[in-house]
Amino acid sequence: MFIWQLDNWPNFSWDDQSLTRLLMKTHREQGRLLGKMEALGFELRNEANLQNLTQEVVKSSEIEGEKLDSDMVRSSIARRLGMDIAGLVPADRKVEGVVEMMLDATRNYAAPLTIERLHAWNAALFPYGFSRLRVILAGQWRTDAHGPMQVVSGPLGREKVHFEAPPATELDSEIDRFLSWFNTNTTLDPLLKAGIAHLWFVTIHPFEDGNGRIARAVTEMALARGEDTQQRAYSMSSQIRKERNEYYALLESTQKSSLDLTSWLEWFLGCLSRAVDDAQSRLDVALSKARFWDRFGKEALNERQIKVLQRVMREDWQGNLTSSKWAKIADCSQDTAGRDIKDLIGRGALTKNIGGGRSTNYSINLASALAQGER
């Protein structure tokens, strides 16, 4: 028996005492992060918002095993937000659709969530009417024409049913009840509401595909309502992606349990808290980078030095910086790379790491810029 088959569905309950401390801690950390975001300069705040929205779109799809081009996602979001950034690339219709859904959820959070919006989000996720190689009813409720909606795994003939959703004939009443609660209940703590909304929508599973991504968009909408801001300071889906196995296991066990959501909400709040902590760390790094450029951007660096420093400070940079990597990125000789590096060490922009010979490598001296900014 699944929870939607219980007599008192969907009268959820939870243990307030078990959640109080975690709820207070998460609110406190969330408030600190939002305060830090507000204190940022306009450009840095917009960049942080762009980065978090990009991660939310990319990682939410990745949870479902779908890989989106992060450069396309970033470019699509930047264009829609009217941001003038370098290196914009064209995005395909699928990327544009996912971005459109997420921006509608997070920027128009105050507007009611309606059947029409949910249908539009689902249609945006599947602009060609296909889920992988399968034709689906995009932008419409599922019909169960080929049997009940089930989440299964295992080889043919030995499938394991992890979850079965309510019958399609009950979708109208189920969605009406969910939307009425989502749009009118203003007394519930917004973090608890986000966690309950996520589980509730996944349980209804109203579409043939895309239910997980839409549930996470609904979650972002609920969080944005609670924070009352269009600026996204963190990415919940990035943290869920890191904890995907536990996420799916807990969703399954909760679906087969009682209507007491304490365990699910404990995990949800913990995951949110970890997402906020991660965003705090990344924001501190972003601030360090901004201070680095405030200091060294005023010095007479050559084009090669600026190009390599910008490349090394990107989030997707891996490993340490060597003179060979420098020469390759800057398209220069080893001798020229050596002179550029020596000059930056003298300025305090680079530090030489422990090691010698072929293992000699260097790091950006963000600590120097941070100390400069604190004096």
CATH number at residue 359: 1.10.10.10
In a domain, 213, yes or no: yes
Domain boundary among 235, 255, 284: 284
Please determine, for residue 368, whether its predicted confidence score (pLDDT) is greater than 70: no
Taking only the tens place, the pLDDT of each residue in 182-208 is 999 889 999 999 999 999 999 999 999
- Which residues form the domain of 306? 297-374
Pair 320, 245 in one domain: no
Domain's final residue, options 238, 263, 284: 284
Lowest mean pLDDT among 139-143, 187-191, 221-225, 299-303: 299-303
Q: What does residue 140 show for φ and ψ, rounded to 5 degrees?
A: -140, 155
Q: How confident is the model at residue 373 (pLDDT cuts 50, 70, 90)?
A: very low
The CATH code of the domain that includes 255 is: 1.10.3290.10
In a domain, residue 107? The reply is yes
Residue 220 in any domain: the answer is yes
**Per-residue pLDDT tens over the stretch 100-123:** 999 999 999 999 999 999 999 999
Domain assignment present for residue 223? The answer is: yes
pTM attached to this predicted model:
0.85
